[in-house]
C-alpha cells in the first residue's frame, strides 16, 4: 500500500535556510547542510529544497551547492528555484536532485513543463503553485515567490499543468504560509478533485491534526511543512505517528530480517 508522505520544506536564501510568514518577514533558520543531514538520518520520506531568490537574479541554479546538499541525502530530493531551461534540469539531476520544482518559469514559458516531462519524465516535474484567495471565491496563482499576481486561476492552471505533464502539484497557500493555522483545506480539496496527479499540501501546518485533515478531508497525497519543524518541538516522525494513529498508512523505517 502506498504511504502518505511527510515532507519538510527547506527554503533557501543566499547562504542559509529561512522561513517567513505569508512569503514575507523572513526569519533565519540556520545552515542548509546540517538540516539535510539531520533529516536524512531521521529518514524523512522526502525533502523539498527551494531557492527563493534564484528567480530574481536570472542566474543558473546554484549547482555546486545542490551538489553539496545531495552528498548526504538518500531520500528523494526535489530542488526548485530559478529553473528556466532544460539543460539546468539535467545538471541538477547530476548534482543530486531527483525531481525539480517549477514555479515562476512555468507561467512565462508553460512549454518548459512539457519539455522537462518529455525528456526526463512526468515524475521528474513537481509543479509548484503559490495561491491567494480571490475575493468572491476561488484562488489566483502568484509567481516570483508570491510577489507577482499572474492573473491565472489556480484550478485552471493546475489542469493545464497536468495536461503538460507535471507529475505532482505542490500547492501552497500564501495566506496560510507560516501562520501555523492549518492548511487551506478547500484549496487542497479543489485541486485534488480537479486533477488526477498527486497533490502535496503546503502552507499553514501548525500541528499534526492539520496534516491528518489535509489527507482525510482534502485528499492530499503528501503533506509538506516548514515552520512546524523549524519552530516547534514537533517532528516528521511525530507527524507520521499521528497520521498512523488516524488510520493513514505511513512509511515504517527499515527493519532487517535475519534470513541472511
Partner 1 sequence: MKVGVLDYGVGNLGSVLRAVEELDVSPVLVDRAVDMHQNDCLILPGVGNFVDCARLLAEGGWIDALREEVLGYNRPLLGVCVGMQLLADVGLEGAGPENPEGTPGLGFVPGRVEHLGTLGCSLRLPHVGWNGIMNTAPGDSLFAGIPNGTDFYFVHSYAFVAEHPEDVLATADYGVPVTAAVRRGHVWGTQFHPEKSSKAGFRLLQNFLAGPQC
Catalog residues that contact partner 1 under the rule CB under 8 A.
1-5, 40, 43, 45-46, 67, 70-71, 74-77, 93-99, 117-124, 167-168, 196-198, 221-222, 251-260
Q: Which residues contact 62 (CB under 8 A, 6 or more apart)?
A: 51, 54
Task: State CA 44 to chain mean position distance.
Answer: 14
Considering beta carbons, is residue 50 or 89 the nearer one to partner 1? 89
24 Rama class: left (phi>0) / alpha (psi -120 to 50) / beta: beta
3-state secondary structure of 229: helix
CA neighbor of 203 nearest in space, from 222, 230, 178, 169: 178
CA-wise closest residue to 124 among 157, 83, 174, 159: 83
Q: How far is the CB of 244 from partner 1 (least distance, A)?
A: 13
Among 205, 248, 195, residue whose Cα is nearest residue 226: 205
Instruction: Provide the minimum distance between the beta carbon of 5 and partner 1 in the complex, in angstroms, as a whole number.
Output: 5
Specify the residue, 169 or 212, whose C-beta has the smaller distance to partner 1.
169
Nearest-approach distance from CB 147 to partner 1, in angstroms: 30
Minimum CB distance to partner 1 smaller for 43 or for 56 = 43
Min dist CB 201 to partner 1, Å, is 14
Nearest CB to partner 1, comparing residues 43 and 181: 43
- Other Cβ atoms closer than 10 A to 77: 22
Reduce the DSSP state of residue 129 to 3 states and report it: strand
The answer to whether residues 58 and 47 touch, using CB atoms and an 8 Å cutoff, is no
Closest CB to partner 1 among 25 and 71? 71
Q: State in angstroms the smallest separation of the CB of 78 from partner 1.
A: 11
Chain centroid to Cα 134, Å, comes to 22
Shortest Å distance, C-beta 40 to partner 1: 8
Q: How far is the CB of 199 from partner 1 (least distance, A)?
A: 8
Compare residues 76 and 138 and give the one whose CB is closer to partner 1. 76
Toward partner 1, which CB reaches closer, 180 or 201?
201
Nearer to partner 1, 4 or 185 (CB): 4
> How far separated are the first and last CA of the chain, in Å rounded?
26
Report in angstroms how near the CB of residue 120 gets to partner 1 at its nearest. Answer: 5
Go through 186-218 and write b for each residue having 16 or more CB atoms within 10 A of its CB, e for each that does not: ebbbbbbeebebbbbbbbbbbbbebbbbbbeeb
Amino acid at each position: 500500500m502506498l504511504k502518505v508522505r511527510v515532507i519538510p520544506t527547506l527554503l533557501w536564501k543566499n547562504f542559509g535556510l529561512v522561513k517567513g510568514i505569508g512569503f514575507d518577514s523572513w526569519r533565519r533558520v540556520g545552515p542548509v547542510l546540517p538540516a539535510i543531514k539531520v533529516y536524512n538520518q531521521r529518514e524523512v520520506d522526502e525533502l523539498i529544497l527551494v531557492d527563493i531568490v534564484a528567480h530574481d537574479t536570472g542566474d543558473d541554479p546554484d549547482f555546486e551547492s545542490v551538489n553539496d546538499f545531495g552528498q548526504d541525502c538518500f531520500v528523494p530530493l526535489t530542488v526548485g528555484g530559478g529553473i528556466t531551461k532544460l539543460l539546468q534540469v539535467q545538471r541538477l539531476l547530476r548534482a543530486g536532485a531527483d525531481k525539480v520544482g517549477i514555479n515562476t518559469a512555468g507561467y512565462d514559458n508553460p512549454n518548459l513543463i512539457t519539455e522537462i516531462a518529455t525528456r526526463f519524465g512526468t515524475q521528474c516535474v513537481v509543479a509548484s503553485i503559490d495561491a491567494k484567495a480571490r475575493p468572491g471565491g476561488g484562488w489566483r496563482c502568484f509567481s516570483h515567490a508570491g510577489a507577482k499576481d499572474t492573473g491565472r486561476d489556480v484550478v485552471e492552471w493546475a489542469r493545464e499543468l497536468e495536461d503538460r505533464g507535471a507529475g505532482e502539484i505542490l500547492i501552497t497557500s500564501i495566506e496560510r504560509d507560516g501562520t501555523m493555522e492549518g492548511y487551506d483545506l478547500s484549496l487542497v480539496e479543489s485541486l485534488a478533485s480537479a486533477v488526477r496527479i498527486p497533490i502535496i499540501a503546503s502552507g499553514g501546518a501548525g500541528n499534526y491534526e492539520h496534516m491528518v485533515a489535509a489527507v482525510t478531508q482534502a485528499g492530499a497525497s503528501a503533506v509538506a511543512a516548514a515552520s512546524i519543524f523549524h519552530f516547534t518541538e514537533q517532528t516528521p516522525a511525530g507527524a507520521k505517528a499521528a497520521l498512523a494513529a488516524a488510520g493513514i498508512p505511513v512509511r515504517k523505517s527499515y527493519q532487517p530480517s535475519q534470513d541472511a
